[in-house]
Amino acid sequence: MPILVKTVLYVRLPCWKIYPGGVIYVADYIHKQRPHVRQEILDLALLPAAQHKAALKARLQNMLPDIVAFSWRNMQSFGPHPEDDALGVVMNFDHAPKLLSRLKATYGAVRILYTYVTNRLRNFAYMQQVRKMLPDSRIVVGGTAVSIFGQYVAKKCPTNSIVVVGEGEAAMLSIVDGEQTPAGECYVKDQHGRISFTKAKTGFDLATLTAVDYPYVESIFPKFHAYLDDYIGVHTKRGCPYQCHFCLYNKIEGVRQRYRDPMEVAQEIEMLSKRYGVKKIWFTDAQFCSTRRSTQHVEEILNEMMRRQVNVRWTGYLRLNYLTPDLAKKMLDSGLDSLDLSFTGTQEVINSLTLGYSLDQQMLAFQMFKDAGYTNQTVKLYIPLNAPGETAATLKRTIERIKELYRMFGREHVLPFIFFIGIQPGTPVEKLLIEQGYLRKGYNPLTLNPFIIKRLLYNPKPLGPIIGRSYLRAVEQLGENSEYVGRITMDIIEEELARKTWVKQPPGVIGQLKNA
């Protein structure tokens, strides 16, 4: 017999301060479908660590929720973010010329690992705290970390827990309705500790996701205001048809793109802008305007934003395959804040990673923005440096393309981001690197072994040491001028490559990766 659910507490587990869009979308959807259910959001990211346990205890005692839903954002230790310089630590440990710098990096690595382990154990302890205080409540766990490591999380959860992989709206609604087998993709751990798995039959119908009722969100989450001075996440669609070899979006959200009503998206942004004074919007889609159909969808959203005279700056991860001069102008006119996109200056690496676009097409799109009235928008290039298939020759050509963009937009407006592929479980690039012996078959992607963790940030020889030393020299030079570290790094890499004589590398890595 279904259990009548009256109360739901959402607990956002500690992470760096970033807008909790996933929790807000789910809570808003449940409210619209089941308005009798009382909901609250507790965001531990906004509290000092020493207050987390007491804050959760107080909310549990006060509310006595029937369901406690945890949102877990990140679980791996190698993902650099504003509070974790994992990249700098690895660079110094491997490539710093001074022993003192390497010793400091060793200390930094131990600190990161300690934080990583204690945070993971603490998150599971919060779930055990719920189980101890509320033996009959149902625990739900979701979020991006869970979508990648759901099976691991399910094993560590208390009994009577549900681990939601991917989208949360349909699953949460079925749980609120008391269904024993939730909708969507879930691991269910029953009262006896047995774990079962259900596969999602279909993707969630995004057409039912209307504009967020922010006054309601404000009523259940007063600290919502703490995020309003930064980027607020809004999504327009879900799903990704591309098969990039290092990415999991197409597995988490599915390959079929599903779209929200453009009127609802624009209304959501209008509310944020005119009622709450939000100035910056980040479109959280896997990629914005990525297919011909989604490009038309983007245009409808921008038209509606301009019709409503919404005054915001916006951006998101862009894909420019189907850009037209008219759409480039609409993007600029509607408030495009920056061009954020994956970039490598050779078609060989694009093909080896199956990124699914033409470099010439991408460079033409850049020119369209320039011709459409580009002023001073930042051009952010996320460059998968030293990815499988990279050679000295491809890296040199990437640098030449970046210099073309300096000439097109002005050097001060182009930001090359130094980023390495993080190897995720279940991706084709992981399979290839296991076959090549770079990773051991059966390795643990959540390992505490620092030497394996380092390998998961893929930056191997022979180019790895050059890139690492160049990055460290660039960081040293930052104190001397106001240049951006990525630009200096690429300049130094160019100098280093010019000094060396390179033997032509065999094309085997690229060929293998294409067929992985």
Domain range 7-198, its CATH number among 3.20.20.70, 1.10.580.10, 3.40.50.2300, 3.10.290.10:
3.40.50.2300
Strand partners, 316: 283
Strand partners, 414: 379
Q: Does domain 228-313 have CATH number 3.40.50.10860?
A: no
Per-residue confidence band for 4, with pLDDT thresholds at 50, 70 and 90: confident
Per-residue confidence band for 121, with pLDDT thresholds at 50, 70 and 90: very high
Asked whether residue 511 carries a pLDDT value surpassing 60, the answer given is no
> What is the mean predicted confidence (pLDDT) over 93-98?
92
Q: Are strands 138-142 and 38-43 parallel, antiparallel or unpaired?
A: unpaired
Angle of helix 21-33 versus helix 169-176 axis, rounded to 10: 50
> What is the mean predicted confidence (pLDDT) over 412-419?
92
> What is the mean predicted confidence (pLDDT) over 190-219?
92
* Maximum alpha-carbon separation in the chain: 74
Asked whether residue 142 carries a pLDDT value surpassing 90, the answer given is yes
Per-residue model confidence (pLDDT) at position 448: 82
Least reliable range by pLDDT among 197-201, 257-261, 440-444: 197-201
Per-residue model confidence (pLDDT) at position 512: 43
Per-residue model confidence (pLDDT) at position 503: 52
> What is the mean predicted confidence (pLDDT) over 266-286?
97
Q: Are strands 280-288 and 232-234 parallel, antiparallel or unpaired?
A: parallel
Least reliable range by pLDDT among 52-56, 114-118, 232-236: 114-118
Q: Is 150 exposed, middle or buried (0-12, 13-18, 19+ CB in 10 A)?
A: buried
Per-residue model confidence (pLDDT) at position 265: 98
Per-residue model confidence (pLDDT) at position 508: 44
pLDDT, greater one: 78 or 73:
73
Per-residue model confidence (pLDDT) at position 82: 52
Amino acid at 311: N
> What is the mean predicted confidence (pLDDT) over 88-109?
90
Per-residue model confidence (pLDDT) at position 370: 97
Beta carbons of 77 and 86 less than 8 angstroms apart = yes
pLDDT in tens, 441-484: 999 988 888 888 888 889 999 999 999 999 999 999 886 666 89
pLDDT in tens, 354-386: 999 999 999 999 999 999 999 999 999 999 999
Torsion angles phi and psi, residue 342, rounded to 5: -70, 140
Asked whether residue 1 carries a pLDDT value surpassing 80, the answer given is no
Asked whether residue 120 carries a pLDDT value surpassing 50, the answer given is yes
Q: Alpha helices, DSSP H only, in 180-261?
A: 214-220, 249-252
Q: How far is CA 497 from the centre of its chain?
A: 32
Asked whether residue 67 carries a pLDDT value surpassing 50, the answer given is yes
> What is the spatial distance between Cα 59 and Cα 48, in angstroms, rounded to a whole number?
16
- Give the domain ranges of the chain: 7-198, 228-313
Beta carbons of 278 and 232 less than 8 angstroms apart = yes
Beta carbons of 250 and 241 less than 8 angstroms apart = yes
pLDDT in tens, 386-399: 999 899 999 999 99
> What is the spatial distance between Cα 326 and Cα 305, in angstroms, rounded to a whole number?
16
How much of the chain, in percent, has pLDDT values that exceed 70?
94
DSSP 364-388: HHHHHHHHTT--S-EEEEEEETT-T
- Return the HEC string of 259-291: ECCHHHHHHHHHHHHHHHCCCEEEEEEEEECCC
Per-residue model confidence (pLDDT) at position 501: 67
Asked whether residue 338 carries a pLDDT value surpassing 90, the answer given is yes
- Summary mean pLDDT of the chain: 91
Per-residue model confidence (pLDDT) at position 165: 92
> What is the mean predicted confidence (pLDDT) over 309-324?
95
Asked whether residue 515 carries a pLDDT value surpassing 60, the answer given is no
Per-residue model confidence (pLDDT) at position 233: 97
